[in-house]
Homo-oligomer: A and B are copies of this chain.
């Protein structure tokens, strides 16, 4: 049976993965890639603090793992779930992979708000371009579900 998006079980899985980041000193951001039957093809938390790779965002790692497993750089019919709005790097990677869509939880603005409140001791950078802006400038035109389970996802950023 073909599942529909946005899907609470899939985002729940991304939240679980995000929760596994803390022991290695990484940000609690999680991402998974699911196929049309909601099978998880790849999952990851952000590994910026455990490997010397500026591209080691959760979404990039989940996409690369899913593509490696499928032995194909295209994943039509698949969705990327991320607990935080994907940056332009990650949104672009999803377009290059020809995903069907993206579902995300907390927003760029949520992360920026938290960083402001946390003060100068908390290092946080972002590129101020919405995921929706990148999607509308690429092909194929991915479906986008924004702010899904945002409150649960926001807890990962802010606690």
Q: Could you tell me which A residues sit within 8 Å of B by CB distance? A: 48, 51-56, 60, 63-64, 67-68, 70-74, 87-89, 91-93, 95-98, 125-129, 133-134, 137-139
Are A93 and B89 interface neighbours, CB within 8 A? yes
Closest A-B pairs by Cβ, 10 of them:
A89-B92, A54-B97, A127-B138, A54-B96, A54-B73, A88-B88, A88-B92, A128-B137, A52-B67, A89-B89
Bound CA–CA A133/B97 (angstroms): 22
Bound CA–CA A97/B56 (angstroms): 11
19 intermolecular pairs with C-beta atoms under 8 Å apart: A52-B68, A52-B70, A52-B72, A53-B64, A54-B63, A54-B73, A56-B73, A87-B92, A88-B88, A88-B89, A88-B129, A89-B89, A89-B92, A89-B93, A92-B127, A95-B127, A127-B138, A128-B137, A128-B138
Instruction: Considering the complex, give the chain B residue whose CB is closest to the CB of A60.
Output: B55
Bound CA–CA A72/B53 (angstroms): 7
